[in-house]
Amino acid sequence: MDKNEVISGIKSKIEQQFIHESSGHDWWHIYRVWKLAKKIAKSEAVDQYVVELAALLHDIADWKFNDGDDKAGGIAARALMEEYTIDEETIAKVVDIIDHVSYKGAGVHDEMKSLEGQIVQDADRLDAIGAIGIARTFAYGGFKGRPLYDPSIVPVMHHSFEAYKKNVAPTINHFYEKLLLLKDRMNTKTGKKIASQRHEFMLSYLKQFFDEWDSEPQKT
Ligand code: ADP
Ligand code: NI
């Protein structure tokens, strides 16, 4: 099987698996991350195959849906890549990216070493901000049965992944605990540029939200 056939086989598998997902981590999220990662990769000297595989497989078994197990994604991705007899060097690179792609809290450092991984992380994070990011965030909050906003519960800057995982705060808090922090955590020049426009849009959205609520924007 050549590389194009592998990508299109894995794409179909993931599409089938995620088409009915309803927490904002559905097939179309993966599709957007895949497209955007390819676009960012164009202006960087990287292994395009690794970028595409990691983008398609990055949410295959997210910790949020696997009892907090942050190794489940890498394991599931490896199993699928082995079915396609992908070479070990590529598999190891992709698994390493999937193991490190997630946001783990405001006070927890990102440890993405490869440029391929940094590109996939930027694409994933860009889909968490802006108009689509806002939609996904409320979809996730609804999926989890969270209130939109509760003025008595203030956002928290989590200093460990464990604390971040346990969080059950209202959805608006997620903007302060993650989404508004992403623009300063972009890895690539293209990522930074797109993030800054999407960030401004979220700020104006929040201003309108709090105007309508007749309340002050939250402070951390
Ligand atoms: P990452 O890709 O960095 O691991 P996640 O998969 O945790 O990010 O989150 C992806 C998206 O899911 C978020 O950007 C947000 O839209 C939604 N989400 C995740 N956690 C929460 C939360 N606690 N409250 C609201 N939305 C959330
Ligand atoms: Ni994702």
For residue range 174-211, what is the model confidence (pLDDT) as tens digits? Answer: 999 999 999 999 999 999 999 999 999 999 999 999 99
Write down the pTM of the prediction. Answer: 0.95
The per-residue pLDDT for 214 is: 84
The per-residue pLDDT for 22 is: 83
Which ranges of the chain have pLDDT less than 70? 217-220
Element (H, E) at 142: helix 130-143
Ligand nearest to the CA of 56: 2
211 Cα: distance to centroid of ligand 2 (angstroms): 31
Q: Which residues have C-beta atoms less than 6 Å from ligand 1? A: 24, 62, 64, 102-103, 124, 128, 133, 136-137, 140-141, 167, 171, 174
The per-residue pLDDT for 219 is: 62
For residue range 142-167, what is the model confidence (pLDDT) as tens digits? Answer: 999 999 999 999 999 999 999 998 99
Mutate to test the pocket of ligand 1, among 65, 108, 140 (most ligand atoms within 8 A of CB): 140
207 Cα: distance to centroid of ligand 2 (angstroms): 26
Nearest to 54 by CA among 104, 88, 100: 100
Element (H, E) at 120: helix 115-126
Query: Phi and psi at residue 25, in whole multiples of 5°?
Result: -110, 40
The per-residue pLDDT for 218 is: 65
What number of other Cβ atoms are within 10 A of residue 209's Cβ? Answer: 16
The per-residue pLDDT for 220 is: 59
